[in-house]
Structure 1
């Protein structure tokens, strides 16, 4: 498919897509709202370099001055990392607004999926998915990431869902929405900082080629949902679940005391967990993003090989 005419692609991304070469989408909310400066900008550049080293083209996605951009420059990454106050955290519902208003929008998992699909990109690597928040039975706080996964054919590689969420309810919601959840080289569903959440991964695949074959079969059958490919954080970098649990409980209590709700919750909680762990959670976050990016590059190559 040809990229949507509203999208602005870098020459690198445009040429790769035109030639049928593998491309991996990357989100921008993790830069503007997920990590502190300058760690965020350094991480973004290193992730792009890792993907290029695999012979694959990275495509970081954002809306800049109202233009949906697929592929960013080093200056763009720097701006997103520094100008947090002037960058909207943009999910799918916000795309029309930020485009029409001509402002900056850092795309969430959901919005990145939608724009990646419009560009013709099938593989997207991120950190952790959004999902069902704790207390959602009364707050109704459920991430649009799940809705988008149910209807947009993009494979999203994550370290599971963010461990600040209700993981059990998130897995139930994904089953209801017919979202395939595949553990990569694991039978356990990971929980972001930790390799296990205590829940089983519904499916398993052990190689990029196996993942690519599953993607191709699902989409050839006309099933248009995306995939959650759950890739555990490397063992050397994890924070064990029993260690992080109390810290997350404290961060949630601090957030409730501040009265934060909606899209402000995740950036606050991630930042608070960084403070409470003395920076260890940030180190783990960067490690898992890089791990996912490497798998994303290898999966994009395997999938491209099936689509000559």
Structure 2
């Protein structure tokens, strides 16, 4: 103990012989005796307890991100980093007492104050918004860590952040890469307009096609009469009868409930030079009812300058 303290025997003043560090030695305990010069001498003892008070004598030390003294910390982050993402974390320690070792963090310099935030108690650096194409690719951040002593001691670290483009991964759980929205906003508008125009034209084309298919063609006023009728009535017991018509084209045949038959011929007006001869053969004279009649043959001969043919129709 005599190596640490000394006492003046005349007045009792106690002196420290060295500098004490609170973090190493916090208190000392020893005894001091006071004695007079009488015969016999009398004395008395006292116990002295010396408490070392902490002094802010230790500077904060930044341990993360680690860098050699005087060097700049370089870090890379994806340019597609979302808002609120952790960019970096500064950690500093102080070997002073509890009160003096409390560290707070602040930005000393920052390229864009609207892009990053710094938690003053834990040193976390986070993004306040997403990167845009206007933001520089390199950001410089200077962080200062101060203790709570009086006067306060501090340490600084310089971080250089570089934003890099990341490749889009193929698996499905990958979040969509938020690219530069300021550029792609106009492109999205053009795509919407183009798709809307194509859809509208397709709808109009479909409706027009349906209307044209459903609409019936109107007969032309200048067209010739579509149909003429030639009717020949005769008794089926009469011998051959012949009807000559210049406009016969197609026919339909009806049998009455009596023994008289009707031949109806309907057709458009034919071209000039065509001639049609319609003749019939007699029915069986032994029949009394049409339902019991035998087969009768109706013979229609068609003559034309373009066509020569003969048509036989079997009537029951």
For Structure 1 versus Structure 2, the TM-score category normalised by the shorter chain is under 0.3
Larger Cα-atom Rg: 2
The higher relative CO (CA closer than 8 Å, separation ≥ 6) is in 1
Query: Greater helix share, 1 or 2?
Result: 1
Could you state the TM-score of these two structures normalised by the residue count of structure 2? 0.17
Could you state the TM-score of these two structures normalised by the residue count of structure 1? 0.17
